[in-house]
């Protein structure tokens, strides 16, 4: 059972996968070694040989496309840099169609409880990019939890003497929702971040 335990342990390290879900996945994979398990192994092998993170922004790209298409794209706004926690955040923002600048993934956030400090993040490469490139604004698109807020504050402090405007994403009520269903923190942020109608 050591092999099964190892597979369960690996699967449970994935985001959103708990121990019980990892056990179900592992058992489903090994039940059909010639089918799903073989496909899974082939997909993992292919990913390890062809996919990587862009050395500039941290987004997912292929080995033969370095830097990634978002960094190399001439139609992107070179004056705007959106800082996110993870590469998956880049994909989500891109799907929204609301941002056309450059990105920088930190690969996490400051979390002393998880043993993640500034040295564990891509902050040095962020500072190097700001020195080298022509950014006028850095948008901190980080979580609105305590760790995200402390990470944003830390980065904002590092950038205060740089020649860039630092902003955060607006936070407030979700589209299609009402005040009745909002928590107090979200409602307070929505009030502070209110915008004029005209």
Is residue 131 located within the same domain as residue 40?
Answer: no
98-136: pLDDT as tens digits: 999 999 999 999 998 889 999 999 999 999 999 999 999
Q: What is the CATH number of the domain that holds 90?
A: 3.40.1360.10
Question: Do 194 and 156 share a structural domain?
Answer: yes
Query: Which residue positions in the chain have pLDDT lower than 50?
Result: none
Query: Residue 25 maps to which CATH number?
Result: 1.10.8.420
Residues 92 and 172 grouped into a single domain: yes
| Residues 81 and 145 both lie in one domain | yes
pLDDT digits (tens, 9 = 90+) for 6-16: 999 999 999 89
Q: How many residues does the chain have?
A: 198
> Per the domain annotation, does 159 fall within a domain?
yes
Give the pLDDT of residue 183.
77
Q: Are 106 and 126 within 8 A, CB to CB?
A: yes
Residue 82 lies in a domain: yes
Kindly report the CA angle at 177 between 86 and 94, in degrees rounded to 5? 30
Does residue 63 sit within a domain? no
Q: Is the pTM of this model over 0.75?
A: yes
The domain of 8 spans 2-52
Report the pLDDT value the prediction gives residue 198, as an integer from 0 to 100: 59
Q: Are 8 and 90 found together in one domain?
A: no
Asked if residue 98 and residue 156 are part of one domain, the reply reads yes
Q: What mean pLDDT is reported for the chain?
A: 91
Identify the pLDDT of residue 189.
Answer: 76
Q: What is the DSSP string of the chain?
A: -HHHHHHHHHHHTSTT--HHHHHHHHHHHHHSTTTHHHHHHHHHHHHHHHEEE-TTT--EEETTSSS-HHHH-TTS-TTEEEEESSHHHHHHHHHHT---SEEEE-SS--BGGGTB-GGGTTHHHHHHHHHHS--SEEEE---SSHHHHHHHHHHHHHHTTSSSEEEE----PPTT--GGG--HHHHHHHHHT-----
């Amino acid at each position: 059972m050591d092999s099964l335990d190892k597979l369960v342990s690996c699967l449970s390290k994935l985001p959103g996968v708990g121990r019980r879900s990892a056990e179900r996945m592992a058992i489903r994979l090994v039940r059909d070694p010639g089918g799903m398990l073989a496909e899974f192994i082939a997909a993992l092998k292919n990913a390890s040989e062809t996919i990587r993170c862009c050395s500039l922004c941290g987004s997912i790209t292929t080995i033969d496309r370095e830097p990634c298409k978002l960094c190399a794209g001439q139609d992107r706004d070179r004056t705007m840099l959106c800082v996110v926690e993870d590469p998956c955040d880049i994909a989500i923002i891109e799907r929204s169609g609301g941002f056309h600048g450059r990105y920088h993934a930190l690969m996490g956030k400051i979390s002393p409880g998880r043993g993640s400090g500034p040295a564990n993040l891509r902050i040095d490469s962020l500072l190097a990019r700001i020195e080298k490139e022509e950014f006028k604004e850095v948008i901190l698109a980080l979580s609105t939890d305590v760790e995200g807020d402390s990470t944003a504050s830390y980065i904002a402090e590092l950038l205060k003497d740089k020649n860039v405007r630092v902003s955060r994403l607006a936070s407030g009520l979700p589209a299609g929702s009402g005040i009745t269903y909002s928590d107090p923190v979200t409602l307070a942020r929505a009030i502070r971040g209110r915008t004029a109608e005209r």
